[in-house]
Amino acid sequence: MVIALAGRRVDASDAAQKRFPAENASAVKQQIRDFLQSHDARALVCAAACGADILGLGASDTTESSPKSEARATWLSLRTIRMMDKPT
């Protein structure tokens, strides 16, 4: 299964309204990892933007994964999409 991830940036420390507090980042990363595993993800497509996108890419990182995740991360294909203001 190919998973597309469009996330949210982590809140600035002085954000008036908390939507994604920095202290939630580790839990969100683990939830993304669990989702990828439970849905037998083969590829992750995202913009690699600051926040949930980066956490998704990190969720497939074998250097900090459990043994189950390490086996999956060796075949998880990552694709990033760069957004441009001007056509190139």
For the segment 22-70, what is each residue's pLDDT rounded down to a tens digit? 999 999 999 999 999 899 888 888 887 888 988 988 887 654 444 444 4
pLDDT at 83 over 70: no
Q: Give the global pTM.
A: 0.73
Instruction: Give the per-residue pLDDT at 20.
Output: 93
Q: Which residues contact 44 (CB under 8 A, 6 or more apart)?
A: 2, 3, 5, 36, 56, 57, 60, 76, 77, 78, 79
- What pLDDT was estimated at residue 87? 65
CA atoms within 13 A on the CB side of 19: 11
Q: Which pLDDT tens digit goes with each residue over 6-25?
A: 888 999 999 999 999 999 99
pLDDT for 67: 47
